[in-house]
Amino acid sequence: MLRPMTHNPRRYLGGGSPGPRPLVFLAAALVASAGFAEDKRPMTIVDLIDVPGIGSPRISPDGGQLLYTRSDTDWKKNGRTTHIRRIGMDGTGDVRLTYGEKGERSPRWSPDGNYVAFLANRGEEETTQIYLLPNGGGEAAPLTSHESSVQSFEFSPDGKHIFFVAADPETPEEKKKDELKDDVFAFDEDYKQRHVFRVAWTGDARGGVERITEGDFSVVGFRISADGARIAHHRAPSPLFDNRDEGEVWLMDAGGGDALQLTDNTVTESGAELSPDGQWVLFTSTSSADLETYYNGNIFVVPAAGGAHRLLYEDMPHEVNGARWAADGTIYFTANTGVRNQLFHAAVGDSQPVPLTEGDHALGSWSYSKDAGLHAFGINRRENAGDIHVMPAGGGTPSKVTAAYDYLDETFMLPRQEAIRWPGEDGVEVEGLLYYPLEYEEGNRYPVVVQTHGGPAASDKFGFGRWSNYVQVLAARGYFVFKPNYRGSTGYGDPFLRDMVGHYFHQAHLDVMTGVDHLIELGLVDGDRMAKMGWSGGGHMTNKIITHTDRFKAASSGAGAVNWISMYGQSDVRTYRTPWFGGTPWQEDAPIGVYWENSPLRDIYKVTTPTLVLVGENDVRVPPPQSVELYRALKANGVDTHLYIAPREPHGWRELRHELFKVNVEIDWFERHVRGIEYEWETAPGSEDDGAVEETGESTG
């Protein structure tokens, strides 16, 4: 748990009295306005954290049922547990199928629809295995007892085998050393290669496990062909994330023979799949036609017999997120179009794909069933966090299947959300999302919290959002929330994305500020009451913004980079960073000047904005030393700051009390510095008293 604090984060921390306190907006927000039903109320932080997670939809072969996963919070366990559910396509008969204490994931139908397979870690078992559950009822039983955890799996089309990926097991000598604590390891070399295995299965009995691939490489993704005869897959030098750009697309027989390498490049590919006629292998990559890296995601095909690759839909400006072959040899795919996400359809030879969905939403967890001729996906809207819908393969009106999120619009006052556009400093149009205060009245100006997305190769989209951005809570407290899709965002074409190549901070931070000025010019935002926050790439942006301007009264930097030179060596991924700066910091004639000129640390002496710094103790993507550098620089220069490190947490925080702490401490910081008012911290369900909050924080200051 976070250690006791040396100060009280719920109290005013200024060097004297905060002065007269204005009326607290939340008290007014608790009374529904004329525009809301009287029985609705604003969301609390705990309400938001408790919103369940719905995903992994899988349509039964006959098209009559749907499997999906649901994750729910457990405050006693301080985390979330995921279970598998089944529901009829008409939305009836929703039942929970699994009850394991540690949860389950990755549900799959057997080809005959009689069994449900999933991954779980149960009992005293330390590894994740494949389990099978009769769809007609009964107990789940393990299909595998592999020495290492199963990472992913897939049924063969005839149902006679289940193929899976797992790491090579430890040798007897390695196990003995572990027992003796003779366990010094080589950094970035302490991994086991991942390979494809298969287990025979007859429906009532399993056979032995057969190794399909072997060698000094890792299989990091695979798909079995429609006839079950071949497997398209990706081989990389290791399972490490940073080695994915050295991986290639391969094709082999289902037994592992006649393996053929189909690509040879320095970019990352994913989603390889053999076409129904066996002539082409489809894959996606964030690359150009010449396989140059750092572009919006695109769809490629390569001859299954070997030959030159081909980029499809070259003139489409959107970012492809995933693609599958249709039974007739055409292609379905989802794509990010900026503040929206849609499903598209196209033939291989088409120039412009046809959108099958429309609306102010983002699609998630897309799954396509060739057998049933249906798509399944979550539709994430302002008032719904992504209930699963199904739609005929060729298009039509999506039908809502699950109702997990109906309570959100029925119970809570939710903010108005709209897309806005404005000219960047160089005249290029920029887009973003704006969330209104619950009690907004035209003609009044309100404080704003500017949130910038991570990535940075990503974009903010229409939808309910997540606990980490807590727009519903901020709107209830009287804030606008502004999410600009600054230069470097995906979905707006390659020139927009690649504005960062060669410098990173070129137009990106200026897009944020011109967007802020646009809101002020519209008479919506009070330019004297503004806060800035973001996580990961959004944290990088926060660090830049506070060195660029003193207009923000408060800021929060979550897992943000401040020194690109040291960051390059500290992070577990470097491949995306090299294009930004034109090389590595340790090559001959290294572009150190470019790295340093784009590092917020270079201009940290200019900062006066009170700034919180937050990071996970086990973050390997933007490691804690970056936050330490930022904190120590701010502290040494007399800037009001605190660094909070969450034990055990990776890049994205997962423990419920840590999530609650993050939101509490940020709102406290904003209210005090932006509006000059005190904030009463929310406590976790079951907390004995408010004092428990004070014991959940850590100050390294």
Domains of the chain: 25-47+409-694 (3.40.50.1820)
Average pLDDT over residues 529-534: 98
- What pLDDT is recorded for position 203? 67
Contact 460, 453 (CB under 8 A): yes
Largest CA distance in the chain: 78
Average pLDDT over residues 623-644: 98
Structure tokens given for 222: 């695979």
Rounded CA separation 403/423 (Å):
40
Average pLDDT over residues 371-391: 97
Name the DSSP class of 44: P
Closest Cα to residue 598, out of 611, 613, 580, 586?
A: 580
- What pLDDT is recorded for position 27? 41
174: three-class secondary structure by DSSP = helix
- What pLDDT is recorded for position 9? 44
Average pLDDT over residues 553-579: 94
Cα dihedral sign, 395-399-401-406: positive
- What pLDDT is recorded for position 158? 94
474: three-class secondary structure by DSSP = helix
Closest Cα to residue 140, out of 87, 194, 93, 83?
A: 83
Rounded CA separation 234/195 (Å):
11
Average pLDDT over residues 244-252: 94
Rounded CA separation 279/230 (Å):
12
* pLDDT-based confidence at residue 163 (cuts at 50, 70, 90): very high
Chain-centroid distance of CA 102 in Å reads 22
- What pLDDT is recorded for position 405? 98
91: three-class secondary structure by DSSP = coil
Rounded CA separation 689/695 (Å):
11
The pLDDT tens digits for 402-423 are: 999 999 999 999 999 999 999 9
Phi and psi, residue 296, nearest 5°: -60, 150
Rounded CA separation 204/141 (Å):
11
Does residue 342 surpass a pLDDT of 60?
yes
Does residue 20 surpass a pLDDT of 50?
no
- What pLDDT is recorded for position 125? 83
* Single-letter amino acid code for the residue at 225: S
Contact 473, 43 (CB under 8 A): yes
- What pLDDT is recorded for position 90? 95
Average pLDDT over residues 628-640: 98
375: three-class secondary structure by DSSP = strand
- What secondary structure does DSSP assign to 493-518, as a single string? -HHHHGGGTTTSSSSHHHHHHHHHHH
Does residue 376 surpass a pLDDT of 50?
yes
Q: Which range, of 1-5, 47-51, 157-161, 182-186, averages the lowest pLDDT?
A: 1-5
Contact 488, 508 (CB under 8 A): yes
Contact 676, 22 (CB under 8 A): yes
Rounded CA separation 459/489 (Å):
5
User: Sheet containing 384-392: which strands, arranged edge to edge?
Assistant: 362-369, 374-381, 384-392, 399-400
Closest Cα to residue 462, out of 344, 353, 379?
A: 379
Rounded CA separation 451/469 (Å):
8
- What pLDDT is recorded for position 688? 63
Average pLDDT over residues 390-410: 97
Q: Which residue reads 């897959």 in tokens?
A: 233
- What pLDDT is recorded for position 3? 39
Ranges assigned E (strand) in 436-569:
446-452, 480-485, 525-535, 554-558
Structure tokens given for 175: 């196990």
End-to-end CA distance of the chain: 18
Rounded CA separation 440/436 (Å):
7
Q: Which residue reads 């005190």 in tokens?
A: 678
Beta bridge partners of residue 210, listed in sequence order: 198
Q: Which residue reads 């430890």 in tokens?
A: 170
* Single-letter amino acid code for the residue at 303: P
* pLDDT-based confidence at residue 2 (cuts at 50, 70, 90): very low
Average per-residue pLDDT in the chain?
A: 91
**Residue 564, CB-side half-sphere exposure with 13 Å CA sphere:** 32
Average pLDDT over residues 668-697: 78
Contact 175, 202 (CB under 8 A): no
**Residue 648, CB-side half-sphere exposure with 13 Å CA sphere:** 10
Name the DSSP class of 329: S
- What secondary structure does DSSP assign to 648-693, as a single string? T--SS---HHHHHHHHHHHHHHHIIIII----PPP--TT-SSTHHH
* Single-letter amino acid code for the residue at 540: H
- What pLDDT is recorded for position 695? 35
